[in-house]
Homo-oligomer: A and B are copies of this chain.
Amino acid sequence: MNAPTAASQPRTRIQREKRELILEAALEVFSSHGFRGSTIDQIADAAGMSKPNLLYYFRNKEEIFQTLIHRLLDTWLAPLRELDEAGDPETELRSYIRRKIEMSRDYPRESRLFANEILQGAPRIMEMLRGELKPLVDEKAKVIRGWMRTGKLATADPYHLIFAIWATTQHYADFDVQVCAVLGPDRGGEGRFEDAARFLEKLFFDGLRPR
């Protein structure tokens, strides 16, 4: 009687497993074609089931996307949340940069999913940006400003600093094909993430002016 699409919590083992399977497939498909560019058939294929079967677990395409992106947000924001006011500013920011580069290496699909959505004007996640992202950034911007006031960090706009860290680190996930095309076949190996991390830590703390 109870269709799983109506249930907020899956009732059976199968429902839990299949919903996971679908979300994994949806991540794969949505992250590489965007919302409009992805079809339910593609997701169903990737999940190894028929379209009607998939639609038994999710009301529609929109609901798959929403479920997926809401579930991923916490993972995605985790590195920023871990920024610890009590820690040493330089150490904290260095490991934030490192963690973000590792996320680009290990979870590029998640990065591209968000990038795709924001690029198209974030019509489906604007709430999340204002409701969860902004408060978190506001909070951490205060922390960074506090660090700057102690003199342990040069004074700069903390918001643009956070943007700069996002941009540079996520670049290696979102624009991976470009990075690889420019670096060429010899330098395009897995080492690029380690190189990027080293470069960025140096750039962010020392800058380009020789000392």
Contacts and interface: CB of A to CB of B under 8 A. Distances in A.
Contacts of A36: 33-34, 36-37
A182 B183 CA distance: 33
A32 B121 contact: yes
Contacts of A120: 32-34, 37, 116
Interface in A138-193: 151-154, 156-157, 159-164, 166-168, 170-172, 174-175, 177-179, 181-184, 187
Interface stretch (A5-13, A17-25, A127-135): A127-135
Given A90-B208, A151-B210, A163-B175, 9 more contacts: A37-B37, A134-B182, A154-B210, A156-B208, A160-B199, A163-B171, A163-B179, A164-B168, A166-B171
12 contacts: A32-B120, A37-B120, A93-B208, A115-B115, A118-B177, A129-B181, A133-B181, A154-B211, A159-B183, A164-B171, A164-B203, A167-B167
A83 interface: no
Contacts of A164: 168, 171, 199-200, 203
